[in-house]
Amino acid sequence: MEIELSVRKKLFTATGEFPFAADLSIGSGEMVSFFGPSGVGKTTMLRIIAGLTDADDGFLRVGGETWFDSADGTNLPPRRRKVGFVFQDYALFPNMSVRENLRFAQPKADRRHVDELLDIFGLSNLQHRKPGFLSGGQNQRVAMARALARKPDLLLLDEPLSALDMEMRSTLQDEILEVHRLWGITTILVSHDLPEIFKLCSRVIEFRDGRVVDDGNPYDIFGRSRISGKLQFVSEVLKVEKEDTVDVLTLLIGNSPVKIAVCNNRQETFVPGDRALVVSKAFNPIIQKLNSNGKGGN
Amino acid sequence: MNTLRGKISELTTSGNMTLVGVGVGGTRMTAVMIGTPEKVPYLRISGDVELLFNESAVSIGKMIEGQLSLNNQLDCTVERLVMGEILTQVILSFKGEHLTSLITTMSAKRLDLKAGDCVTAFIKTNEVMLKEPDGAGNGD
């Protein structure tokens, strides 16, 4: 379902009060990321869409239907908005089994859909367990499956994987992609993790100071450069070590840590957590074939 | 990373590859890239461009005679050296701009490099990257 919204809201944060405003249009079936520093209003945006927080002013239309409009007082209650919401702390019902958690989310029992979700998220064998007996990754899978159990028009993911280790994240990302491929649900992901955004989202909406400051595909937003080099990777600096007269940076590119030596007399210094663009010319990498294609002797 | 600014003086295209000649304060430098002026808006004669190359891509010659294949030969003065056990940073001055060459300390000693030396910096054409200057106000 496509989303059209124009909202204004005063936000109260630790640093004081500031106005938040956004005008957005998200196409049906898009998977977009909300990106930006903490406390900028990304979660508030999701809550406004889900109906958990009211905007002060504006409108929200999903699939042509008005969910909120301050002009005529329209404000659909959360339960009538077909939204699946997943938080970082999965907020499952501890007294219910996995299957019951999924079932409870459905307005009308749909056993086949529950079975399908249990299967997609590899939970079939755990369906009678309660959340307290599951790992973090398993619980987050249950939360994902529960969000999908009511067949939502929109899927809102608020840093759902940020508490998980890298391998578990990667598996759940694959499952999110699979779900998106299957049902094409319009999805908004709040994430600070660049590899995750690159893997999942075709569009990034960047918020700063209470408004949208950038909107485009991840390569344009994070890799914006007018450098001619053909190999360009957006990376995150994990570690900086001084070796001899150079700095050796450990960078995370995708899921792989790589080491790059840089001359340490440069003006810009790197610290862990920095985002960095790694560029190489098309002529420079050394390429070796790995498969032998049966051309004589393996 | 070293950065020099210049103006494009020559564009030679073959298929999808372009050899770009850039005038940098009276010295001609070249870069080769995959891409053509049709697809890369900043590739135009007299356009401003930045040349980027790694410190480790800069070789140093002293009292060089004979011929070398390298197109990019910059007459520089050694400003100072930062010697490590294995690698040495040679800070060079080229027409008022600073360049850094990262070479082995072994080579720096063999060449007996000292501040004030007149040397030639060599950069292979395929090591030079081009960048549209920020705030160039064109091609956006």
Segment A102-149, tens digit of pLDDT: 999 998 899 999 999 999 999 999 999 999 999 989 999 999 999 999
- Closest-CA residue in chain A for B134? A226
CA distance A51 to chain B (A): 40
* Alpha carbons A183 and A181: distance in angstroms, whole number: 6
* Alpha carbons B7 and A220: distance in angstroms, whole number: 26
Residues of A with CB under 8 A from a CB of B: 225-230, 244-246, 261-263, 265-266, 279, 281-284
Give the number of C-alpha atoms closer than 13 A to the C-alpha of residue A120, restricted to the C-beta side.
Answer: 26
Q: What is the 3-state secondary structure (H, E, C) of A262-279?
A: EECCCCCCCCCCCEEEEE
pLDDT of residue A224: 55
User: Which residue type, as a one-letter code, is found at position A47?
Assistant: R
pLDDT of residue A193: 86
Q: Which of B100, B129, B132 sits opposite A279 (nearest CB)?
A: B129
pLDDT of residue A143: 94
Has this prediction a pTM greater than 0.90?
Answer: no
Contact criterion met (CB below 8 Å) for A5 and A61? yes
Residue A172 main-chain phi, psi, to 5 deg: -65, -35
* Alpha carbons A8 and A19: distance in angstroms, whole number: 7
3-class state of residue B132 by DSSP:
coil
| Per-residue pLDDT band at A290 (split at 50, 70, 90) | confident
Among the listed residues A123, A134, A4, A125, the one whose alpha carbon sits nearest the alpha carbon of residue A62: A4
DSSP letters, A276-298, are EEEEE-TTSS-------TTSS--
pLDDT of residue A194: 83
Q: CB-based burial of residue A215 (10 Å sphere; 0-12 exposed, 13-18 middle, 19+ buried)? A: middle
CB atoms within 10 A of CB B43: 22
- pLDDT for residue B139 is more than 50: no
CA distance B37 to chain A (A): 12
Contact criterion met (CB below 8 Å) for A24 and A172? no
pLDDT of residue A30: 94
* Alpha carbons A266 and A249: distance in angstroms, whole number: 14
pLDDT of residue A215: 93
Q: What is the pLDDT of residues A143-178, one digit of tens each?
A: 999 999 999 999 999 998 888 888 888 899 999 999
- pLDDT for residue A298 is more than 50: no
- pLDDT for residue A50 is more than 60: yes
| Per-residue pLDDT band at B138 (split at 50, 70, 90) | very low
* Alpha carbons B41 and B43: distance in angstroms, whole number: 5
Q: Rg of the Cα trace of chain B? A: 16
Chain A positions touching B91 (Cβ under 8 A) are 265
- pLDDT for residue B10 is more than 60: yes
* Alpha carbons A70 and B51: distance in angstroms, whole number: 54
- pLDDT for residue A218 is more than 90: no
* Alpha carbons B1 and B56: distance in angstroms, whole number: 9
**Which residue of B130, B134, B138 to mutate against A (max A Cβ within 10 Å)?**
B130
Task: Give me the helices (H) in chain A, please.
Answer: 42-50, 98-105, 111-120, 136-149, 166-183, 194-200, 218-222
pLDDT of residue A292: 63
pLDDT of residue A77: 92
What percent of chain A has a predicted confidence (pLDDT) above 70? 94
The region of weakest confidence among A164-178, B49-63, B88-102 is A164-178
pLDDT of residue A162: 86
- Closest-CA residue in chain A for B33? A228
In the block, residue with structure tokens 């007299």 = B46
Q: Which of B82, B130, B134 sits opposite A228 (nearest CB)?
A: B130
